[in-house]
Amino acid sequence: MCIVALAISAVGFHRYIWFISIGYGFSIAGIGSALLIYFGLRGGLTTVAAVMAALLIVYGLRLGGYLLIREYRSSSYRQVMQQAIDNGAHVRPPLKLLTWIGCALLYVCEASPIVFRLQNHAGTDAVAITGAAIMAAGIILESAADLTKNRFKQQHPHALCDVGLFRLVRCPNYLGEIITWTGVFVSGVTILNGVWQWLAAVGGYLCICWIMFGGARRLELRQDKEYSDDPDYRRYAERTPILIPFIPLHSLSNAKWLIG
């Protein structure tokens, strides 16, 4: 699985940000495909594991394809991402190498509960079914949020998207991401065996949650800068949680303990 993630995420050597964007999505899809092929040929593929591996493919292809389209069609998106993250022009090769390896390991750790379920020859149980359902719900939420924002921006390119799921939280796509990986983690809690499997699963889950909180904070700072003079934005930000529904945390700027 790690070799698959390394091979696909190597696109980041072409453009540094691709290590964590396009390379991320397609690496997850590649891991899901590899699980289906490898364990399918070995005869150890259970129904729930096959469903979750297929969900990894759906998740990865949707995310990778969405980011790839935005990369080439949206000049504003490219500009924002270049401002938010080093484009790699001044990143030394050793650091690129470390980024590549670190990203690949993270992607495998995120998917590791599914990998370990198959490796440990675990059958289908209620926890796995629950995890798969949570995972599917997260993918649907993230997809719906991206579709809503894309349609809104086509009609209102310079306005802040505050319709649909964006009335629930300001970052429903990040929320969907967290829910997706919560489902993956939950699916493995009954079958993880030994310290290393627990470290991989817990580490991958905590890292992606931390990354999503950090991404939400960066988005909040950009929006505060861009729409600071808009009273409608201020009212929207005051009444709408940034990431977690129904929890009155409307800003991450003053909650640095969440993201380090």
- Each residue of 156-169: pLDDT tens digit? 888 889 999 999 99
Evaluate whether 147 touches 206 at the Cβ level (below 8 Å). no
Phi, psi of 190 (to 5 degrees): -90, -5
Tell me how far apart the alpha carbons of residues 223 and 160 are, in angstroms, rounded to a whole number: 8
Give the per-residue pLDDT at 258: 45
Give the per-residue pLDDT at 252: 57
Taking all residues of the chain, what is their mean pLDDT, rounded to a whole number? Answer: 89
To 5 degrees, how large is the angle CA 37–CA 41–CA 44?
A: 100
The two three-digit tokens of residue 111, written as one number: 């998917």
Q: What is the pTM of this model?
A: 0.89
pLDDT digits (tens, 9 = 90+) for 198-251: 999 999 999 999 999 999 988 888 888 888 888 888 888 888 998 988 775 555
Is a pLDDT exceeding 60 seen at residue 38?
yes
In which band, very low, low, confident or very high, does the pLDDT at 89 lie, cut at 50, 70 and 90? Answer: low
Is a pLDDT exceeding 90 seen at residue 179?
yes
pLDDT digits (tens, 9 = 90+) for 132-160: 999 999 999 999 999 999 899 889 888 88
In which band, very low, low, confident or very high, does the pLDDT at 69 lie, cut at 50, 70 and 90? Answer: confident
Tell me how far apart the alpha carbons of residues 241 and 106 are, in angstroms, rounded to a whole number: 28
Tell me how far apart the alpha carbons of residues 224 and 228 are, in angstroms, rounded to a whole number: 5
**Distance spanning both ends of the chain, measured CA to CA:** 30
